[in-house]
Amino acid sequence: MFKSQIIILLAIIFLNCAIMNAQEIVLPNYGLKNPETIEVIRVRITGDQTLVDMSIQNQVRDGYFCIDENTFIECGDGVKLKVQEIKGLPTCPEIHEFSSVGEKVYFTLVFNKLPDAATWFDIVEYCDANCFSVFALNLDEDINGKINKAFDAMDRFDPEEAIIIFRDILPGMRASGHGLTGSVYLNLVELLAANNRDDEVRKLVSDFKASPVPHKQHYLEILDNLGY
């Protein structure tokens, strides 16, 4: 009896340690993505794995989707982790055929554990056509919280508060080379432009073009399409 109690106690201790060592980020902020209907629901980091829970919604008749085995997490420091398991969707060339327009499928990508120092990462699928990607998935809870507050302010039609928040976090993100830096610049440009603060927009765009920002070319193309 005493031995059984010790075994149960040890099991509880090990379980609690595993829970304490796990990290979970629900609805993380991220930058650019393709296709537009793909979403990241949650990132879970355990002792030996990184699990990314996602969804994709079909927008066309006779639509289909699959995940190529050549799908990677790519960290800002150059570390690449190949997908180890795909749950909820087939691996290409097998396909999931959507039953209707608007159908949403949920799936999970399983990778090896991220480096401890990682604060953001990309997911990139390398395939022949219609590959998906999600850039700058953010793991920093403080940054996520501040960005969410900025978006909340925008939803309340309070652009000034959103501008203040984005301006406050921009220097630190730029200095650290965070993958979401370009997204913060872009949000600031759009907010300032919508409020007719043209001089500030020109200065901000000039500052962005002179800064070393991850995925800079993608954001330059967006700014060019916006007329900047």
Cα separation values, 179 from 24, 79, 183, Å: 19, 14, 8
Task: Considering only CA atoms, give the Rg of the chain.
Answer: 21
- What pLDDT shows up at residue 20? 45
List the domain boundaries for the chain: 22-138, 141-225
| Phi-psi region at 53: left, alpha or beta (left = phi > 0; alpha = psi -120 to 50) | beta
Cβ-proximal residues to 18 (8 Å cutoff; 6+ apart), any chain: 46, 47
- What pLDDT shows up at residue 12? 42
- Does domain 22-138 fall under CATH 2.60.40? My reply is yes
Helix (H) or strand (E) holding 138: strand 133-138
> Per residue in 46-79, pLDDT tens?
999 999 999 999 999 999 999 999 999 999 999 9
CA dist., res. 23 & res. 21, Å (int): 7
Task: Please list the ranges in the chain whose pLDDT falls under 50.
Answer: 2-20
CA dist., res. 96 & res. 88, Å (int): 9
Say if CB 70 and CB 91 are below 8 A apart: no
